[in-house]
Amino acid sequence: MPSPSRPATLKSMATALGVHVSTVSRVLNGDPAGVERAASADVVARIRALAKELDYRPNTQASSLKLRKSQEICVLMPRLTDLVMATIYDSIDSAAEQAGYLTFVSNTDDQQPRQMARAEHALRRSVAGLIVGDSHVGESQPLLDLLARKHIPYVLVSRQIAGHLAVCSDDELGGWLAAEHLYQLGCRDVAILAGERHASTGADRTRGFTRYYREQGITLRPEWTLNGPFDSQTGHRQGAYLLGLSPRPQAFFAVNDFLAIGLMGAVRDQGLMPGKDIAVVGFNDIPLANELMVPLTSVRLPLAEMGRHAVELLLKRIAGEAVESIRVAPQLQVRASSSLLR
């Protein structure tokens, strides 16, 4: 009898029952429809009774490797502190679990060498596929080229790259909606906190915003569009710089809410009030946006829906089905950080 202090194995149970280890394996891990062919009803009952008594748990990783079929999905995230991607990941994990898959996150710090290293580690685990939330725009795509070469199913989420399967928002439309709102408030001198250059989200939102103003016959000052990390510290620093100019912007569009929140801190430090003295619009509409002392106008994205769609597309790719990218629609949520200017 296997020792109760050690986990039961197929081999230890086979020895205890006096049957071949392959018989135990077929009964416990094989196709339920074929169990009657693996052993007699009496032997099957004895194997199952012992497995229950010993609380036997299959080694799913070993089984997956043997069958060349994994039930794991790797999700590459730019930062574990990224609340937007964390919200998307929460939905990814729930949808994957419902489909019988487990997920794990790899933090890449939004750096391509680290992205490649983390992806290669995931491939050594024989994952079923990858969901990539940290893609970089540009001609060189070493990770995606590697996945394509190895025929590994993958889906991009949040950020997009032309020619690759993705679930994202219509970011250009979102920028356009933000610009329309500020223009209708009478704002003509507008600055943009545009985020990282390598992220399609910031670039597309900025493009949509400037396009709207250009269509109204207004060219925004290029020196008032600043790039940098997507965090509140950057928003505060860039906001302080722009507010110190003369003349200064009368309105700001930040391509994510953390940039906008940091900017609002700089507005406060100048003794000004968002929505009264300066208009501020963010993007993503994180839950915190509505809880600020001056609630933040923001472009809302259905983040949970994006996570579910990413899993749906990946599972279809794993199954060999034809799939197309999904683009969800943004919605502007007007709050006090801009509406008081009316």
Per-position DSSP letters for 135-182, written without gaps between them: ---SS--HHHHHHHHTT--EEEESS--TTS-EEEE-HHHHHHHHHHHH
Residue holding tokens 């949808």? 95
Task: Say if CB 209 and CB 283 are below 8 A apart.
Answer: no
Identify residue 318 by its one-letter amino acid code. Answer: I
User: What is the distance, to the nearest Å, from the Cα of residue 71 to the centroid of all Cα atoms in its chain?
Assistant: 19
| Tokens representing residue 43 in the block | 């032997």
Do the two domains 70-169+304-328 and 171-301+331-339 of this chain adopt the same fold? yes
Question: DSSP letter at 278?
Answer: B
Task: Say if CB 15 and CB 7 are below 8 A apart.
Answer: no
Q: What angle do CA 10, 13, 19 make, to 5 degrees?
A: 95
Residue holding tokens 């007699």? 40
**Residue extents of the structural domains in the chain:** 10-58, 70-169+304-328, 171-301+331-339
Rounded Cα distance, 302 and 325, in Å: 16
Half-sphere exposure at residue 226, Cβ-oriented, CA atoms within 13 angstroms:
24
Q: What is the pLDDT along the chain (342 residues), one digit of tens a residue?
A: 555 556 778 888 888 898 888 788 778 865 454 555 667 888 888 988 988 888 887 665 555 444 446 799 999 999 988 899 999 999 999 999 999 999 999 999 999 999 999 999 999 988 999 999 999 998 889 999 999 988 999 999 999 999 999 999 999 999 999 999 999 999 999 999 999 999 999 999 999 999 999 999 999 999 999 999 999 999 999 999 999 999 999 999 999 999 999 999 999 999 999 999 999 999 999 999 999 999 999 999 999 999 999 999 999 999 999 999 999 999 999 999 998 655
Identify residue 215 by its one-letter amino acid code. Answer: E
| Tokens representing residue 193 in the block | 């906190």
Rounded Cα distance, 166 and 323, in Å: 10
Q: State whether CATH 3.40.50.12780 applies to domain 171-301+331-339.
A: no
CA torsion 127-132-138-139 (nearest 10°) is: 30
Give the model's pLDDT for residue 167.
98
Task: Say if CB 296 and CB 264 are below 8 A apart.
Answer: yes
Contacts within 8 Å (CB) and 24+ apart, 239-245: 239/193, 239/263, 239/264, 239/265, 239/266, 239/267, 240/266, 240/269, 240/270, 242/191, 243/267, 243/270, 243/272, 243/278
- Superfamily of domain 70-169+304-328, CATH level 4: Response regulator (3.40.50.2300)
Task: Say if CB 283 and CB 254 are below 8 A apart.
Answer: yes
